[in-house]
A and B are shown apart, each in its own frame.
Chain A
Amino acid sequence: GQQVMQIPQYQHVQEGEDFTTYCNSSTTLSNIQWYKQRPGGHPVFLIQLVKSGEVKKQKRLTFQFGEAKKNSSLHITATQTTDVGTYFCAGFHSGGGADGLTFGKGTHLIIQP
């Protein structure tokens, strides 16, 4: 079936270091969304990318959508303890398939003070 692969599964960083998570799909995505889930919480929408090659920024977070619309990345500059959580990418696949978001397995960000 259609899958969205996300790496790494876990990432330990020192506070102040940068963090990147990557998302890859075997099929073209019509768009990609990113969500953050705090420990014990529910996923919360961060951003959506639609256009090929699109780059969006939210303060220390930079989101990119690949030219082929098959991959995406989230980069956090100078991590803070408030960034702790699991980051999920989620995509809708072009050309049919389930009309629901397909989520990657997420990257758990662990920050060591």
Chain B
Amino acid sequence: NAGVTQTPKFQVLKTGQSMTLQCAQDMNHNSMYWYRQDPGMGLRLIYYSASEGTTDKGEVPNGYNVSRLNKREFSLRLESAAPSQTSVYFCASSITGKNTEAFFGQGTRLTVV
């Protein structure tokens, strides 16, 4: 049982380049999330999807877009990467939005130079 799978694990981008971070879960969860983690800042919610076909902004959505492709997959896109987007990105999923634990992927370490 793979749980939440993120790809890639590491990525270096040049300023202005675009890329998509992939996330897939095999637990039949309804809700999926993207967080970024920076030193001293904890985990900040970028976007979330309460169910297939819906997405909503979190605390720090600027510079990102998301797609809930189907129930399993939730991708995060950086259209024009900036050094401020250097971070570790975590995807997570839960059965429903509230009162259920979140399962996290292994993370993507992104560096924008």
Contact = CB atoms under 8 A, between A and B. Distances in A.
Given A98-B48, A99-B56, A105-B42, A43 B99 contact: no
Given A9-B40, A105-B42, A99 B59 contact: no
B101 A30 contact: no
Contacts of B105: 42
A106 B43 CA distance: 9
Q: How large is the interface on B (under 10, 10 to 19, 20 to 34, 35 or more residues)?
A: 20 to 34
A101 interface: yes
Interface in A81-113: 88, 90, 92, 98-106
Interface in B59-109: 59, 90, 92, 97-99, 101-107
A31 B98 contact: yes
A72 B98 CA distance: 18
Contacts of B107: 42
> 7 shortest A-B CB distances, which residue pairs?
A105-B42, A45-B101, A103-B43, A100-B48, A99-B97, A42-B104, A100-B45
A43 B50 contact: no
Interface residues of A, number: 25
Interface string A36-59: 000000111100101000000000
A110 to B, nearest CB: 15
Contacts of A30: 98-99
B45 A45 contact: no
Nearest to B32: A100
A98 B61 CA distance: 12
